[in-house]
Structure 1
Amino acid sequence: MDKISILFDLDGTLTDPYQGITRSICHAMASLGRPLPPQTDLRWCIGPPLKESFSILLESDDDSLVENALVIYRERFGSIGLFENKLYAGIPQALKKLQEACHPLFVATSKPWVYAQRIVDHFGLGQYFNHIHGSELDGTRTDKTSLVSYILNRESLDPSRAVMVGDRRHDMIGATANKVRGIGVLWGFGTQKELTDSGASACIQSPPGLVTAFSKKNSDK
């Protein structure tokens, strides 16, 4: 089997962070005295850079206000929200088989890497990954295009032998911009149309399908 370097999104791909993220968003909005959006309306906030989401929720381009919301969000998320999270069934088994097949595995998340590392460790997934990559708290590398570029350079990866796996359009756009193949997953927060319209070369229905997708036959396509 050919070795393919696989970059995994975190939220909506490895874990379901819905409760932790939405509760922390609501906490920030309430603290700022802003109308509290129903949690059911916040699925769209999972995946994109959070600063952009707060700008939309607050209906403001006031950077100081948005940054304040982000600080309040992180106060709750960093102590409570990141553990209000669930591992998708079948993910550890799929990662184990991909690792056994000698595919180098990386986390590529727009979430700050300091949080991503804690989440990965919390679920015992660190043993499967070569490295955890994410953004910085100052906003550096929150967009997937710059993040994927950074990982390719930092890890000396050949884009033609790398794949980005994620559940939102940002993952596919970031992959395409770096000449990396994008594969969408359908158990997260994006739709198949969103993913294919954004450049996904394939979409996978469930975690066990990840192993099949990276068999030699599929990797060579």
Structure 2
Amino acid sequence: MLCLFDLDGTLIDSEPGITACIRHAFDKLGVPAPADLRPWIGPPLRHSFAPLLGHDAVRVEAAVDYYHERFAVLGWREHAVYPGVAAAIERLQAAGHRLAVVTSKPVRHAAPILAALPFGSAFEKLYGPDPDSAHCEKATMIADALTDFGTAPEAAAMIGDRRYDIEGAVANRVRGIGVLWGFGSREELQQAGAQALASDPAHLVDLLAA
């Protein structure tokens, strides 16, 4: 099976780095940051910044630039691998599954993170969005992965913690598996159409073997 993994909230807990970079952007613009930044983890940055910056395209782009400014130096290192994930990836690879990452992070940020992970080499490909896009491109990236690997939809699964992952799976008729240790809720994943929910990484391996 082709197993497509989200990065943030699925393989790594990236909340410290992401939220610090969002606050950095707001500080640079002299705008108070929202108290709760967890919902920002997953959606495209422009989508999240726009309402709070009056949909001013110039300020939104400045905010995104400030975010990337800090992330490139510090933010990409500020994360932790979720317990059990490394063992799960090892088991999936040993079972013959092919693995790739499909993330909302630009490739220039995701690539060094993946390379630094102890199990990063298990992933054959990395898919990230157009860095200039304000839209979630999970569906497009999943379609690209199916083409690149020559895999039929029924022989693939998208694994992630937010509705964007599951919606991308549904759009491509691949199996969408939600993980409950990330940033999305059970309700969010179910409403998006998740075919299964994994309570922990070991449970995820069992679901993919089923």
User: TM-score with structure 1 length normalisation?
Assistant: 0.91
Instruction: Give the alignment partner of residue 120 of structure 1, picking from 111, 114, 117.
Output: 114
1:158 aligns with 2:158: no
Work out whether residues 134 and 142 of structure 1, in 8 Å CA contact, stay in contact via their aligned partners in 2.
no
Work out whether residues 90 and 119 of structure 2, in 8 Å CA contact, stay in contact via their aligned partners in 1.
no
Report the AA paired with residue 37 of structure 2.
L
Report the AA paired with residue 49 of structure 1.
P
Work out whether residues 168 and 189 of structure 1, in 8 Å CA contact, stay in contact via their aligned partners in 2.
yes
1:101 maps to which residue? 95
1:15 maps to which residue? 12
Instruction: Give the alignment partner of residue 134 of structure 1, picking from 128, 134, 150.
Output: 128
What is the CA RMSD across the aligned residues, in angstroms?
Answer: 1.4
* Distance apart, 1:80 and its partner CA: 0.3
1:37 aligns with 2:34: yes
Unaligned runs of 5+ in 1: none
1:173 aligns with 2:167: yes
2:46 maps to which residue? 51
1:189 maps to which residue? 183
* Distance apart, 1:142 and its partner CA: 4.0
1:92 aligns with 2:86: yes
User: Which is worse superposed, 75-84 or 134-143?
Assistant: 134-143
Work out whether residues 136 and 164 of structure 2, in 8 Å CA contact, stay in contact via their aligned partners in 1.
no
Report the AA paired with residue 49 of structure 2.
F
- CA distance, structure 2, for counterparts of residue 45 and residue 29 of structure 1: 13
Report the AA paired with residue 197 of structure 2.
C
Report the AA paired with residue 210 of structure 1.
L
SS at match of 1:6: strand
SS at match of 1:189: coil
1:73 aligns with 2:67: yes
Give the fraction of aligned pairs with identical amino acids, expressed as a percent.
44
Instruction: Give per-residue Cα distances to partners, 1:129-170, cap 9 Å, x unaligned.
Output: 111111232238742122212222233221111000000001
Work out whether residues 183 and 201 of structure 1, in 8 Å CA contact, stay in contact via their aligned partners in 2.
yes
- CA distance, structure 2, for counterparts of residue 155 and residue 142 of structure 1: 22
SS at match of 1:116: helix
- CA distance, structure 2, for counterparts of residue 190 and residue 72 of structure 1: 26
- CA distance, structure 1, for counterparts of residue 99 and residue 134 of structure 2: 22
* Distance apart, 1:55 and its partner CA: 1.1
SS at match of 2:63: helix
* Distance apart, 1:174 and its partner CA: 0.6
- CA distance, structure 2, for counterparts of residue 181 and residue 31 of structure 1: 41
**1:190-205 paired onto structure 2 within 5 Å:** 190-205=184-199
Report the AA paired with residue 46 of structure 2.
K
* Distance apart, 1:108 and its partner CA: 0.5
SS at match of 1:111: coil
Report the AA paired with residue 20 of structure 2.
R
Aligned length: 210
Report the AA paired with residue 43 of structure 1.
R
